[in-house]
Every structure is written in structure tokens, then in C-alpha cells.
Amino acid sequence: MTTSSDSPPDEVMCQCSGTTRAEIQKYFERGMNIEEISQWSGALSGCGGCEWDIADFIKLLSAQKDGSV
């Protein structure tokens, strides 16, 4: 998986829950942190294989929000 902003929004980031990049971004834009995103989406609650990809994506979204990217 990639974390760049040019990845498709329908890319599944968490295979266990089927959570897409767009869903994670939607929750982030609502002000949720990674734990809240996990609770609402089911992401990060299975095998753990998506942990780093989602964390990196959240960092990218934070940087974009702050104007760092």
C-alpha cells in the first residue's frame, strides 16, 4: 500500500475491515484521532497489517492540514 495523496480514494487500507482511504480521510476531517477512527471504522482491529500504512496516511493528512506539504 502507498500513502501518497495520489492514491485512489477507494483503495482499501485495512483488509480485515474493508476500510478505504476515503473513509479514513472522512473520519480524520471530522476531527477523529487514530483510536477513534479505529473504533468507528473497524480498521486496526484485526491482524495489524495496516497499522503503519494508516498511521503514515494520518501523518500525511495532518501535514496537508497544517500546510506542511
The CATH number given to whatever domain includes residue 59 is: 1.10.10.1100
Secondary element (H or E) of residue 19 = strand 19-20
State how many domains the chain has: 1
For 37, the domain range is 12-66
Residue 22 lies in a domain: yes
Would you say residue 6 has pLDDT above 90?
A: no
Three-class DSSP category at 39: helix
Residue 59 lies in a domain: yes
Q: What is the pLDDT of residues 47-67, one digit of tens each?
A: 999 999 999 999 999 999 888
Q: What is the pLDDT of residues 11-61, one digit of tens each?
A: 999 999 999 999 999 999 999 999 999 999 999 999 999 999 999 999 999
Residue 2 lies in a domain: no
Residue 5 lies in a domain: no
Instruction: Give pTM, 2 decimals.
Output: 0.84
45-67: b (≥16 Cβ within 10 Å) or e: eeeeebeebbeebbebbeeeeee
Contact between 13 and 45 under an 8 Å Cβ cutoff? The reply is: no
